[in-house]
Amino acid sequence: MSAAEGPLVVGVDTSTQSTKALVVDAATGEVVASGQAPHTVSSGAGRESDPRQWWDALREALHQCGDAAREAAAVSIGGQQHGLVTLDERGEPVRPALLWNDVRSAPQARRLTEELGGAKFWAERTGSVPAASFTVTKWAWLAEHEPEALRATKAVRLPHDYLTERLTGEGTTDRGDVSGTGWWASGTETYDQEILAHVGLDPALLPRVVRPGEVAGTVRDSHGLPFAKGTLVAPGTGDNAAAALGLGLRPGTPVLSLGTSGTVYAVAKHRPTDPTGTVAGFADAHGDWLPLACTLNCTLAVDRIAALLGLDREAVEPTTELTLLPYLDGERTPNLPNASGLLHGLRHDTTAGQLLQAAYDGAVHSLLGALDLVLDEDADRSAPLLLIGGGARGTAWQQTVRRLSGRPVQVPEAKELVALGAAAQAAGLLTGEDPAAVARRWNTTRGPVLDAVERDDRTLTRIAGVLSDAAPLLERSTDAH
């Protein structure tokens, strides 16, 4: 470990599959230590995790960081959005957390939209139209299916809130993550009393929303963690808002994130209100907005297709007639929460490599279709796409994004951008800087730029046509659930 030039901070990413911790030099952005520990996610009808696993994983990840974590002057926790954590009077989980990719609440999302003024009402009030991923729909599902769990709940938290509260003893959240719940009014930046009353959620059960740059609390005791009592704790935020901080994003710069889910987003100065529901009007973590579109099926779905075919994920072959819509977990963009995958154009001479390429094409098509809606009218549509996430370093992902977008692609060398963004939040507490400015000082977007290639309009048109023709079938599969 090299000698640090400035104080050390810890940034944490508690994601769907694991918790990652980075110890970072606040002056230079150098990662001086890191650790990672896995979570278990149920694979039955829904997607659930025991929040206590996240705490155990945090302890293990920090233990792997060694002595460097003990020197940290501040810590911040970013994490997966939307998850519903229900706690009893002792602060213990009432039941496993319902995760963002649990789509069982799709009927509740439709019902809530209809009952409270329709899509336009929700978009104008909360910035987003409820989808099955949103926390408010999960609360409504719990009320309908597990009323005894609802009665036992004395506090409602998001995943990163749960870990922050165990550190500080105080119930807090931030504007970035709370904007994805469906019960926070983005226009007034307060909890929406009408929506809370409609779903039967007492606002006293919700955490205090900490402002950007405000201290969320201090470490109350060691809890077996390497932090000294009194260590500063930053607000934390949701994973996409944290990654935006980690990149030091300026308004209008587009990001395409390839993870378990796929997302496209950009920082915006104007509050988004898309009544179609394609764009979620999230807040970011430092006072602006983060319009975002999300697909449920990204790297995990394509890897599953590769595994079914017995192929390495890079073993793609060009295809001109094959279309695969890899909706293995339903889909959010387009909004088909219970749809399944669909294959069109299969022939005797189709190869396994062509099938795999078609899966990449189907996933990227969904993301690029939402990109124009995410970007402001004055955004530079020839600027490089920042490609991040687990798939960003994959050649097949890079080439598919280039071919279907027609844009240059930049791949930042920095890894674990969610944890880096959380670390920038922690550093901002010490220096008084905007965390995004901290990340720009750290030069986190540094990385190769891949030149633009001619856009493959033929493939885009073919996929759009298949999707349009298959819409009645996909809708029927949704209704069948």
* Residue ranges with strand state E in 288-367: 289-295, 323-325, 342-344
- CB-based contacts of 160, cutoff 8 Å, min separation 6: 14, 77, 78, 79, 80, 173, 177, 236, 237, 238
Q: Which two tokens stand for residue 105?
A: 């609440």
User: For 65-146, where are the alpha helices, taking DSSP H only?
Assistant: 67-70, 106-115, 118-126, 135-145
Of 472, 463, 127, 419, residue with least CA distance to 427:
419
Sheet holding 280-283, edge to edge: 280-283, 289-295, 262-265, 255-258, 385-388, 409-410, 449-450
- C-alpha–C-alpha distance, residues 367 and 356, integer Å: 17
Annotate 308-329 with DSSP letters as a single string: HHT--TT-----SS-EEE--BT
**What type of residue sits at position 121?**
F
Distance CA 75, CA 23 (A): 9
3-state secondary structure 214-270: CCCEECCCCCCCCCCCCCEECCCEEHHHHHHHHHCCCCCCCEEEECCCEEEECCECC
Contact (Cβ atoms closer than 8 angstroms) between residue 367 and residue 412: no
Count of beta carbons in the 10 Å neighbourhood of residue 347:
8
Radius of gyration of the chain (CA): 21
| Category of 252 on φ-ψ map: left (φ > 0), alpha (ψ -120 to 50) or beta | left
Buried b (16+ CB within 10 A) or exposed e, 67-92: ebbebbbbbbbbbbbbbbbbbeeeee
Q: Which two tokens stand for residue 335?
A: 């909004």
The two tokens of residue 62 are: 């920090």
Q: Is the peptide bond before 93 cis (omega within 30 degrees of 0)?
A: no
Q: Active-site positions?
A: 239
Q: Which residue has the tokens 């104008």?
A: 124
